[in-house]
């Protein structure tokens, strides 16, 4: 009887272990051309908290150099960003992050207010797969799923990715248990340059109101920050495309005023920030490259130091060693990216 039980346990361990291994193997590693799916889980490697937390889409994770904030102001910051991060995803990521730390300032980029319902599974996956399991993740999945998606596929990703067995590469084995960092404190840098061109005229809309669902999550975000005593800053990154309608801008301005929040639309501040969009963008104006992201961080860092009295941690032994390593990584990434750009 005892032998039977032991054998059964061993079989279960072997089978579940095998399935777990297969699942890890088959899940995308996001270490090649598409790195955005690796960003969310990188956060869990952080060992110390941050004074500033950015949440949002590519308009935060590609546009603010977290290392410039450190080098110039001693600000510790992290960007919990992901591709096409929808506002409910930002909310649940914030909720989850607050279980690990309590930043003084939360910065949310408002572009995602234009989406009122789930959009695309590929982007959902890039945000949700990397989250650790918690009620925040459960609720995030529920809020994010498109009609074609099933909750069970998030619980057991192998159900979703099983067909990748035909496409496995050496990277799937190389990064099976440990991945290379793709960001520095959530900032994804690029060093290539492609000057901004002309954007098409915006399409007129029959209704410029943000959707109820999107606004509900902005309310939740505002309430959460207030409950936790955190300053919430709403920003619109200085990117002109996709178009940010004046009607949207007015709505966010009114909302910020009604709720005692700061809202900064950085599009008209481009010159003041010092951006030169013939040089400071890598994809014709959709995102900033590292030169632009450093300028923007320099500008914004000064603003939050002036207005939120953040502490300069540059001489704080708790952080110096950690950020020394981060700066090394940042410089290494710049160098590697430069090499790739030159090769191209």
Partner 1 sequence: MKPLKIAAVLISFIMVMGFAGCNGEETASGEESKAADATEAVASDNSGAAESKAQESSSSLKFVAKGKEIAIDMDTSSFISDLGDPVSYFEAESCAFQGLDKVYTYSDFVIRTYPDGDRDLVSSVELKSDLVNTAEGAYIGMTEDDIRGLYSSYNIDGDGNSSMTIVDGGTKLSFIFKDGTVESITYTAAE
**Closer Cβ to partner 1, 235 or 239, answer by number:** 239
- Strands (E) in 184-300, as ranges, are 231-236, 262-265
Does position 200 interact with partner 1 (CB under 8 A)? The reply is: yes
Does position 37 interact with partner 1 (CB under 8 A)? The reply is: yes
Does position 164 interact with partner 1 (CB under 8 A)? The reply is: yes
- Rounded to the nearest whole angstrom, what is the least distance from the CB of residue 29 to partner 1 in the complex? 6
Does position 286 interact with partner 1 (CB under 8 A)? The reply is: yes
> Burial, 309: exposed, middle or buried (Cβ in 10 Å; 0-12, 13-18, 19+)?
exposed
Task: Return all residues near 39 (Cβ < 8 A) that are at least 6 apart.
Answer: 61, 81, 82, 126, 130, 182, 183, 186, 188
Task: Return all residues near 48 (Cβ < 8 A) that are at least 6 apart.
Answer: 76, 318, 319, 322
Which of 246, 310, 331 lies closest to 105 in space, CA to CA? Answer: 310
* Binding segment (CB under 8 A) for partner 1, from list 31-39, 89-97, 321-329, 331-339: 31-39
**Closer Cβ to partner 1, 69 or 126, answer by number:** 126
- Rounded to the nearest whole angstrom, what is the least distance from the CB of residue 280 to partner 1 in the complex? 17
* Binding segment (CB under 8 A) for partner 1, from list 22-30, 70-78, 101-109, 320-328: 22-30
Cβ distance 45 to 269 under 8 Å? no
- Rounded to the nearest whole angstrom, what is the least distance from the CB of residue 131 to partner 1 in the complex? 15
With CB under 8 A as the contact rule, the residue among 25, 138, 145, 158 that binds partner 1 is: 158
Does position 163 interact with partner 1 (CB under 8 A)? The reply is: yes
With CB under 8 A as the contact rule, the residue among 10, 17, 21, 32 that binds partner 1 is: 32
* Binding segment (CB under 8 A) for partner 1, from list 69-77, 99-107, 112-120, 265-273: 112-120
Q: How far is CA 161 from CA 91, 103, 166, 181, in A?
A: 27, 36, 11, 23
Cβ distance 336 to 190 under 8 Å? no
Which of 184, 229, 179, 181 lies closest to 78 in space, CA to CA? Answer: 184
Q: From the CB of residue 162, how many other CB atoms can be counted at a distance below 10 Å? A: 12
Q: Containing H/E element for 77?
A: strand 77-81
Positions 237 through 266 that interact with partner 1 (CB under 8 A): 241
With CB under 8 A as the contact rule, the residue among 10, 21, 132, 167 that binds partner 1 is: 167
* Binding segment (CB under 8 A) for partner 1, from list 11-19, 104-112, 297-305, 315-323: 11-19
- Rounded to the nearest whole angstrom, what is the least distance from the CB of residue 213 to partner 1 in the complex? 11
With CB under 8 A as the contact rule, the residue among 41, 46, 72, 171 that binds partner 1 is: 171
**Closer Cβ to partner 1, 60 or 232, answer by number:** 60
With CB under 8 A as the contact rule, the residue among 68, 77, 83, 89 that binds partner 1 is: 83
Q: Containing H/E element for 328?
A: helix 317-343
The length of the chain, given as a count of residues: 344
To 5 degrees, how large is the angle CA 293–CA 328–CA 71? 50
Chain positions contacting partner 1, by CB under 8 A: 5, 8-9, 12, 15-16, 19, 28-34, 36-37, 57-58, 83-84, 116-117, 120-123, 125-126, 129, 148, 152, 156, 158-164, 167, 169, 171, 197-201, 203-207, 241, 283-284, 286
């Amino acid at each position: 009887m005892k032998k039977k039980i032991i054998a059964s346990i061993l079989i279960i361990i072997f089978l579940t272990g095998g399935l777990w291994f297969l699942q890890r193997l088959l899940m995308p590693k996001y270490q090649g051309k598409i790195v955005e799916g690796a960003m969310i889980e990188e956060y869990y490697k952080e060992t110390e908290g941050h004074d500033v937390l950015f949440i949002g889409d590519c308009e935060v994770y590609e546009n603010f150099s977290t290392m410039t904030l450190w080098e110039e102001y001693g600000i510790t910051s992290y960007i919990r960003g992901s591709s096409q991060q929808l506002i409910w995803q930002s909310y649940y990521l914030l909720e989850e992050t607050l279980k690990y730390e309590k930043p003084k300032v939360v910065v949310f980029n408002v572009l995602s207010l234009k989406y009122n319902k789930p959009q695309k599974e590929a982007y959902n996956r890039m945000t949700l797969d990397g989250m650790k399991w918690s009620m925040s993740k459960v609720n995030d999945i529920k809020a994010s799923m498109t009609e074609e998606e099933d909750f069970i596929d998030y619980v057991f990703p192998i159900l979703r990715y099983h067909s990748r067995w035909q496409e496995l590469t050496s990277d799937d084995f190389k990064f099976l248990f440990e991945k290379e960092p793709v960001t520095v404190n959530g900032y994804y840098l690029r060093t290539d340059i492609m000057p901004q061109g002309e954007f098409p005229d915006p399409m007129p809309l029959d209704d410029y109101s943000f959707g109820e669902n999107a606004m509900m999550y902005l309310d939740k975000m505002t309430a959460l920050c207030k409950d936790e005593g955190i300053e919430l800053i709403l920003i619109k990154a200085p990117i002109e495309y996709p178009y940010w309608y004046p009607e949207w801008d007015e709505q966010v301005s009114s909302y910020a005023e009604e709720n005692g929040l700061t809202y900064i639309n950085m599009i008209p501040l481009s010159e003041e920030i010092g951006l030169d969009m013939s040089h400071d963008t890598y994809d014709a104006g959709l995102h900033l490259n590292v030169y632009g992201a450093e300028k923007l961080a320099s500008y914004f860092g000064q603003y939050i130091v002036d207005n939120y009295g953040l502490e300069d941690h540059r001489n704080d032994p708790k952080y110096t060693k950690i950020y020394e390593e981060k700066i090394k990584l940042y410089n290494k990434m710049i160098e590697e990216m430069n090499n790739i750009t030159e090769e191209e």
